[in-house]
Amino acid sequence: MIILLYLMIDNYYDLETALQRATEDIILLSITMSLWAFLFGILMEWNGLRSLFKGEFNVNWQLLIPTVVLTILVFIPNVYWLTWFGQTQDFFPNVFFTRELNLVLSVLAGTMLVRSFVKK
């Protein structure tokens, strides 16, 4: 997990530099940042991962479907949310436009993914 935190911080600084220079790397860096946060969320549920590797799993469809939708939404780069919706006061696009909230939702999606396959 410490390695993932290091990768997230390193990627964050690269993303800040790319935003200041307005380069084409913004999209790739945003997706990579979401991936690191998603993996961090998966690793937060290490007890659930351990039981999954032991073969103890059950699919909770009521949790899996919202998890898949949330995962798709958090992997859309922030640049596209701004292009599609512009700078609005609406709650929905601003949740995905803000990088910090996008990272929190990525961690939540990773955690929910493991929980949707773990037996209770």
pLDDT in tens, 54-109: 888 889 999 999 999 999 988 888 777 777 666 666 656 566 667 788 889 999 99
Amino acid identity at 8 = M
Question: What is the Cα–Cα distance from 20 to 16, expressed in whole angstroms?
Answer: 6
Surface-to-core class of residue 26, CB atoms within 10 Å of its CB (0-12 exposed, 13-18 middle, 19+ buried)? middle
The pLDDT of residue 30 is 85
- pTM, two decimal places: 0.82
Residues 88, 37: contact at Cβ < 8 Å? no
Which ranges of 22-98 does DSSP label H, i.e. alpha helix?
Answer: 25-44, 46-53, 61-74, 78-85, 91-97
Q: What does the alpha-carbon distance between residue 99 and residue 59 come to, in Å, rounded to a whole number? A: 31
Question: What is the number of residues in the chain?
Answer: 120
